[in-house]
Chains A and B, each alone.
Chain A
Amino acid sequence: MLDKNGIAQRIAREIRDGYYVNLGIGIPTLVANYIPEGINVVLQSENGLLGMGPFPFEGEEDADLINAGKQTITTLPGSSIFDSALSFGMIRSQKIDLTILGAMEVSENGDIANWKIPGKMVKGMGGAMDLVASAKNIIVAMQHVNKAGESKLLPKCTLPLTGVNCIKKIVTELAVLDVLPEGGFKLIERAPGVSVDFIRQATLGKLFAEDNVPEMIF
């Protein structure tokens, strides 16, 4: 079973040289720590920056330079800065190759819910609805089951949706799964030491698994 860093490390393997990538808050942010050597990736922050660098050294923080999580960051050689409308223009026109974000639930037809729990204080969707509605390639980083042990990979989402029919790949603490175009989760890889049966029990939506599902390689 993977921890958050393990999920991030596995997702980093999906990143290709030359990609422009938008990383959501939480586990997706950790993906930046595992981008392999020799792969050139430009990170987009939807508040208006392409080419997000690491956190600044202490004493070099700049209140005018933050990421979408409002954290102080830095630029890199080749970075560019722009306004919010232009930022979502590049998202909508699919100039961003990959979006990685968290989820509370994903359904077997690729719907995602990640912004609102009825009865609880709703903070807002931020840029998530724009990202999932437009991205050509979305990977969800999420926990396979909730704290009560209930599956978050469902036949149908129970929470208010963020986007419909948009998720193609999911990485959890247990598995890598593709969402099939005709519906259903296809098991691609198992986390080290986790059996197909264990994953099947943790998946309430339709699960397709071939006989020899490999373990993840990092």
Chain B
Amino acid sequence: MINKVVSGAEEAIKDIQDGSVLMLGGFGLCGIPENCITALVKKGVKELTCISNNAGVDDFGIGLMLQQRQVKKMISSYVGENAEFERQLLSGELEVELIPQGTLATRCMAAGYGMPAIFTPAGVGTEVAEGKEVRNFNGKDYLMEYAFDADFAIVKAWKGDTAGNLIYRSTSRNFNPVMAMAGKITIAEVEELVEAGALDPDQIHTPGVFVHRVFQGADYEKRIEQRTVRTRG
């Protein structure tokens, strides 16, 4: 079995250069690659284009990279909850492309499935459609949206094995599997790294062929953005 293991986040991201296009998994702060984000902040690479559903919060997730002015452009569906983001956007320091969430996911999927473009009804008749090709199928209009072209996809899984096979846990799956398939180089950080053979092949979400580097992350904070509970009784 091909061994995909690297020593840690720093080695995993070592060839990410200024100006790279990155995909980062996660929804809100759920299922984000915490270790790689920390390593990217430490490395200080700049002028990054980040494709990620959200932009973190001020002091966690992609927000940490925004604070260091490492991001040139965000491609996201929802970017609330982040004051530094708002400041950079309004001052013109940061470029933002907002796209519908399903379009974001499906443009990742298309890249991972080897398809150059998709047709989606999301955004037809809105400003999202400006400049895009519209095709009518069976009486309904669809926008043509291109597959993403990312240099690196950085994802977080629950368990991984040395062959790069990945299993996600609960709703931290979100964008991670489709992004894992979509990067030219895919980096996976996992909470628990096991030997090839220790995971049930029937339970694998991302086959190792899509993963180039895997490592066991450390010190996961797994911050909760909106802690909502009910009282007993």
Contacts and interface: CB of A to CB of B under 8 A. Distances in A.
Partners in one complex: yes
Interface of A: 45-49, 54-73, 75, 81-85, 87-88, 91-92, 111, 121-130, 133-134, 160-165
Contacts of B177: 83, 85
Interface of B: 27-31, 53, 76-80, 86, 89-90, 98, 100-106, 108-109, 120-128, 158, 169-178, 205, 222-232
Contact of B28 (A62, A70, A121, A124): A70
Contacts of B103: 129-130
- Indicate the member of A65, A88, A162 with the most B CB atoms within 10 Å: A88
A63 B222 contact: yes
Nearest to B230: A55
Contacts of A71: 226-228
Given A66-B27, A130-B100, A88 B229 contact: no
B229 A55 contact: yes
B227 A124 contact: no
Contact of B98 (A49, A81, A88, A122): A122
Given A70-B225, A73-B228, A124-B77, A64 B109 contact: no
B211 to A, nearest CB: 15
Nearest to B172: A64
Nearest to A87: B105
Given A57-B232, A130-B103, A83 B173 contact: yes
A192 to B, nearest CB: 30
Contact of A85 (B125, B178, B231, B232): B178
Contacts of A70: 27-30, 225-226
Nearest to A134: B121
Nearest to A123: B80
B176 A163 contact: no
A125 B227 CA distance: 23
16 contacts: A45-B171, A54-B230, A55-B228, A58-B231, A64-B170, A66-B27, A66-B225, A71-B228, A73-B228, A84-B105, A85-B108, A85-B177, A88-B105, A124-B98, A127-B100, A130-B120
A206 to B, nearest CB: 20
A84 B226 contact: no
A56 B108 contact: no
A60 B227 CA distance: 11
Contacts of A83: 105, 173-178, 205
A161 B125 contact: yes
A61 B175 contact: no
Contact of B31 (A61, A64, A125): A64
B169 A126 contact: no
Contacts of A57: 229-232
A65 B98 contact: no
Contact of B109 (A58, A59, A63, A85): A85
Given A66-B30, A84-B27, A125 B171 contact: no
Given A46-B101, A160-B126, A127 B227 contact: no
B106 A88 contact: yes
Given A72-B228, A121-B90, A160-B126, A84 B121 contact: no
Nearest to B76: A124
Contacts of B123: 129, 133
A111 B106 CA distance: 24
A121 B86 contact: yes
B121 A92 contact: yes
A69 to B, nearest CB: 6
A42 B138 CA distance: 30
Contact of A134 (B122, B126, B169): B122
Contact of A124 (B79, B121, B174, B228): B79
Nearest to B205: A83
Nearest to A59: B229
A85 B170 CA distance: 15
Given A47-B171, A61-B227, A65-B170, A88 B102 contact: yes
A123 B78 contact: yes
Contact of B224 (A63, A85, A121): A63
A2 B29 CA distance: 35
